[in-house]
Amino acid sequence: MHYFLDVYDSPWWRERMGPVSQRLERMGFLMCMDAVPAFNHNHKGAPSLNIAELINLSLGPHLRYDPDNMIPWLLLPDDMPSDVQLKFFDYVIKNELNPLHTTGVAGPDGPVKCKLFGASLDLKGREKLWNQVSVQAYCGCS
C-alpha cells in the first residue's frame, strides 16, 4: 500500500516541480495567512494585522518550520474592508509572486523558479478576505 509521507509524494508536486535534480532550479512554497493582534492585544478592538508567510516546502520537513527558514511576506491591516484587502492581495500576487514564478531569482545554478504549492487561511480569514458568508473547508496554518 502506498502512503503519502510528505508533499514530495503527491502527484501534483511531481507534476509541477519535476524530477529531483542536483541543481537548484526551483523551490515550492506554501503560503499561510492569519491575523495577529499587532498592538495592545489586551485592549478590546485593538488593531490586527493579517500576515502572510511563505514556508519553503523544498526544504526537508525538519527545516521548513524553523523560524529562520520561514519568510514573512505580506502584511494586510485587518481594518481594511475585504474588497480593498482582496484588491491589494491580487495586486501583490501579480506583481511579486508571478514574476518569481516566470522569471525566478538569481541562484547558484542560474534562475530559481519559485512556485506556490498551496495557500492556507483560517476560517475567519477566508470569510473576510474572500467576502464569504461561511467557509466549508479548512486547512490550518503552521
- Give this prediction's pTM: 0.72
Contact 37, 64 (CB under 8 A): no
Inform me whether the pLDDT recorded for 26 exceeds 80.
yes
Cα–Cα distances in angstroms (integers) from residue 82 to residues 43, 89, 96, 129, in the given order: 23, 10, 20, 5
Rounded mean pLDDT, 60-70? 89
Which pLDDT score, from 0 to 100, does residue 60 have?
Answer: 86
Cβ–Cβ contacts within 10 Å for residue 104, how many? Answer: 17
